[in-house]
Structure 1
Amino acid sequence: MKKILIILLAFASIHVTAQEEKEAVMKVVNQVFEAMRKNDSTLLKNCFVESPNTFTSFTNPEGISTLTKGDFQQFINAIGRPKEQVLNEPIWNEKVEIDDNLASVWVDYAFYIGDQFSHCGVDAFHLVKLDNEWKIFHLVDTRRRKDCEIPEGIKP
């Protein structure tokens, strides 16, 4: 009986630790979107390693699949620039996978400028745990303007 209790306590401890790590990873991802809403380039930059890779995947008007490499500094500058309307990117369907110091997050999103819908897609983040902190080192998103199934609670 004592052995079973020890095994159950160990399992519960592992589960709590795994859940805490998932929450820590999602905290970083959520800070990206908070930084966008607040025009806070410092908060945004703190979510990433020094030179992350960013990409966008989309189908161009001619129907050709395209992958473009982003410029992280331009992204930081764009977020920090004062705006009349809030950039809002609500997310849902979060999927988090973690192994050791590597994490992957896949989320559906819709992007709004103020209350105006711009596009939707998926954000795929890769994070690494360095000095006990999760940081994004790779971000790729898809973008489309149609065929977006946005849950009612997500729309402004």
Structure 2
Amino acid sequence: MKSLVVLCFLFFGLCSNAQKQDVQKTIEYFFEGFHQKDTSKIKSVCAENMILQSISESVSKGNKLSDEAAKEFYKSIASIPSSMKFHEKILSYIIQIDGTMAHVWAPYEFYLNNKLSHSGVNTFTLFKEKDSWKIIYLIDTRRK
């Protein structure tokens, strides 16, 4: 009986870890597309009606919440000049899952032409649609 309980906990832990890996791979694929300016790749892991918001934090200007339509987000990614080098470095992933919903907390640093531009936290909410995770909500903080 004792070994059955241990096996159940082990199986649950392995399943939970596999789910977290799938969620993290979805976010990594999003950023792979982002860095390649490949909107098709980004769209493949995003829900059609994804919500995007940003919180800009500034002592002098105050804090500001802004919304961006997914269509405008994709357009802005596609229009980044090839001469501009950018990289968003994810520092860690904290992933929580409840059934078909996942939440990811991902601190980051954003580099523009190899120079730190700003940092903050991305938070993603994902929905498991059939066998794949889709990003339904993305909000980030931005501070200099």
TM-score by length of structure 1 reads 0.85
SS at match of 1:90: strand
Identity %: 27
- Alignment of structure 1 residues 6-155 onto 2, 5 Å: 6-60=4-58, 62-81=60-79, 82-145=81-144
The alpha-carbon deviation at position 132 of structure 1 amounts to 1.6
Aligned-partner Cα distance in 2 for 1:114–1:86: 5
Structure 1: 5+ residue stretches without partners = 146-156
CA contact (8 A) 1:110 1:117 kept: yes
SS at match of 2:116: strand
CA contact (8 A) 1:127 1:138 kept: yes
CA contact (8 A) 2:23 2:133 kept: yes
Deviation >6 Å, runs of 4+: none
> What letter corresponds to residue 15 of structure 2 in structure 1?
T
Q: Structure 1 pair 86/102, CA: closer, same or farther in 2 (3 Å)? A: same
The alpha-carbon deviation at position 33 of structure 1 amounts to 1.2
Aligned length: 143
The alpha-carbon deviation at position 63 of structure 1 amounts to 4.1
SS at match of 1:79: helix
SS at match of 1:84: coil
> What letter corresponds to residue 102 of structure 1 in structure 2?
M
Aligned-partner Cα distance in 2 for 1:38–1:63: 32
Aligned-partner Cα distance in 2 for 1:113–1:58: 17
RMSD: 1.4
SS at match of 1:117: strand
The alpha-carbon deviation at position 112 of structure 1 amounts to 1.3
CA contact (8 A) 1:93 1:108 kept: yes
CA contact (8 A) 2:86 2:114 kept: no
What do residues 101-133 of structure 1 show as CA deviations (whole Å, max 9, x unaligned)? 010000110111231221110001000001121
TM-score by length of structure 2 reads 0.92
Q: Structure 1 pair 10/113, CA: closer, same or farther in 2 (3 Å)? A: same
Higher strand share: 2
